[in-house]
Structure 1
Amino acid sequence: MTKPVYSITPFTLLDYPHYPACILWFAGCNMRCLYCYNPDIVLGKGKLSVEDTRDFLHSRKSLLQGVVFSGGECTLHPTLFSLARIAKEMGYRVKIDTNGTKPSVLKQLWAEGLLDYVALDFKGIRKKYHDITLTDTFTTFTDSLMFLNTASIPFEIRTTWHANLLSIEDIETMVTYLEQQGYEGKYFIQYFMNGVQTLSPLPYNNHSLDPIQLSTAKIRVEIRAT
């Protein structure tokens, strides 16, 4: 029996804007981001089957309004579609947290009416993207961003920031890149989470950013607590 889900966070008010939700953490990822604070999920195996997850969602129908599909990278799992269908049939709203490497999955979810909100991780620009993720998948991120923009899907862009990995100039370049791609709205930056185990050991990050200075007429940078 396929077990795609590593664990479930039964309740959150932070991860799906305006809706009480749960989080389904899918095991495995196609990136190895240096700052990742979910190494057990990224490197581990799933523990919960589709049936287990369906039973949980059924038990929370009267308490929750949204389901967040996260990871790891949830779009790697074919079972994402069956679980999204189950969630929608139960009346939940579906949010996808993704690194953007599977734009075809986003397109299919949208075509089937299974997608209500997306959080797209923006890791960096080209070489910095590669250095952080240890992958050469920047073009797929761009494809996902362009699709979300043109399809008018409710979504947000977010970046995890550590001063050793991305300079202030890098963030300014990323804001400019988003503008060039036609993105308008909020751009969330969350500081690296100090004091937790990460895929690669990184020094304590005691630097901060000025969101007002980084914002433009079209893009408003906001710092989001982790």
Structure 2
Amino acid sequence: MKIAGYIKNSFIDYPAHISCAVFLGGCNFDCWYCHNRPFIKSAGDIDEDEVLAFLQKRKGQLQGVVISGGEPTLNKELPEFIQKVKALGYPVKLDTNGSRPNVLQSLIDQGLIDYIAMDYKAPLEKYAQTVGAPVDTQDIKKSVEIIKNSGLDYEFRTTFAPTLTKQDIIQIAQELKGAKKFVLQQYNHDELYCEILGKKIKPHTKEYFEKTLEAVKQAFQGQAISRGL
């Protein structure tokens, strides 16, 4: 399997773990604010053997491996690669957009993942508009239920893009009713986005973000936290 990129040491991608973050290329969404945009179209040219050799060398130092993207569940070789990672003794966190519930269920059934982070992009009625691509929201709903019933550690997370409002985030919290953890992430307006959009779109103010998070805590029964503020 080809890898689009990897971060050898990450302290933020896997909660409570020092991890290696592995990025697989290709995505069926085209979110304008994506911070991994270079991986959307490119499959990558790093051989998996390079990554596996690194993981072998770092046994006892790294505490986990994150599989991210792009959208990892699009890759048919994903299960086999995770099996190789697990054989080295690493717990695996999967980052996913939730668009392929059948693949997600299969990975869970095979015992291949230990933590799931699903990006819940927008209220269901705004999904296609937000992700820049056609999307079957029934698949999104199925993935949410699969994750909630998986028995695994998990989080649902939403990037508070400027195109989303406080009411949108509250609606998301209501749609995720019964989940145990929700993460509201601040939108990052770096130079890459400016180049793509041709202009600079500012994030919501800290005050608006914090007020939104407080409103979410009232609407969401589980743990609601912020990230990137």
What TM-score does the superposition give when structure 2 sets the normalisation length?
0.90
- Name segments (4+ residues, structure 1) moved above 4 Å: none
Q: Letter of the 1:221 partner, please give it.
A: A
**Contact 2:5–2:46 (CA<8 Å) still a contact in 1?**
yes
What 5-or-longer segments of structure 1 have no aligned partner? none
SS in 2 for 1:151: coil
Q: 2:29 aligns with which of 28, 31, 35?
A: 31
Indicate the structure whose relative CO is greater, using CA pairs within 8 Å and at least 6 residues apart. 1
Q: Give distance in 1, aligned partners of 2:167 and 2:226.
A: 17
Question: In the alignment, does 2:217 pair up with 1:215?
Answer: yes
Aligned length in residues: 220
- In the TM superposition, 1:15-54 aligns within 5 A as 15-54=13-52
AA at the equivalent of 1:156: E
Mapping for residues 14-163 of structure 1, pairs under 5 Å? 14-134=12-132, 135-163=134-162
**Contact 1:84 1:114 survives alignment (8 Å):** yes
- Once the two structures are TM-superposed, the CA of residue 212 in structure 1 deviates from its matched residue by 2.0
Q: CA RMSD in A?
A: 1.7
Q: How far has the Cα of 1:200 moved from its partner? A: 4.7
Q: CA deviation at 1:149?
A: 1.2
1:189 matched residue in structure 2? 184
What residue ranges of structure 2 are gaps of 5+ in the alignment? none
- Distance 1:213-1:126 versus aligned 2 partners, 3 A rule: closer
Q: Percent identity?
A: 29
- What code does the residue aligned with 1:8 have? Y
| 1:223 CA displacement | 1.2
Alpha-carbon displacement from aligned partner over 1:72-109 (angstroms, at most 9, x marks no partner): 11111122111111111111000000000111111111
Structure-2 separation of matches of 1:220 and 1:166: 21
Cα shift at 1:206: 4.0
Equivalent-residue separation in structure 1 for 2:135 and 2:105 (angstroms)? 21
Whole-Å separation in 2 of the counterparts to 1:70 and 1:172? 26
The 10-residue stretch of structure 1 (121-130 or 216-225) with the greater mean CA deviation from structure 2 = 216-225
Structure 1 window deviating more from structure 2 (59-68 vs 24-33): it is 59-68
How far the C-alpha of 1:111 sits from its partner, in A, is: 1.4
Deviation at 1:137, TM superposition (A): 2.8
Q: Aligned partners of 1:59 and 1:108: how far apart in 2?
A: 29
Cα 1:147–1:206 change in 2 (3 A) is closer
Structure 2 Cα separation of the partners of residues 206 and 138 of structure 1: 26
Q: Which amino acid aligns with 1:145?
A: V
TM normalised by structure 1 equals 0.91
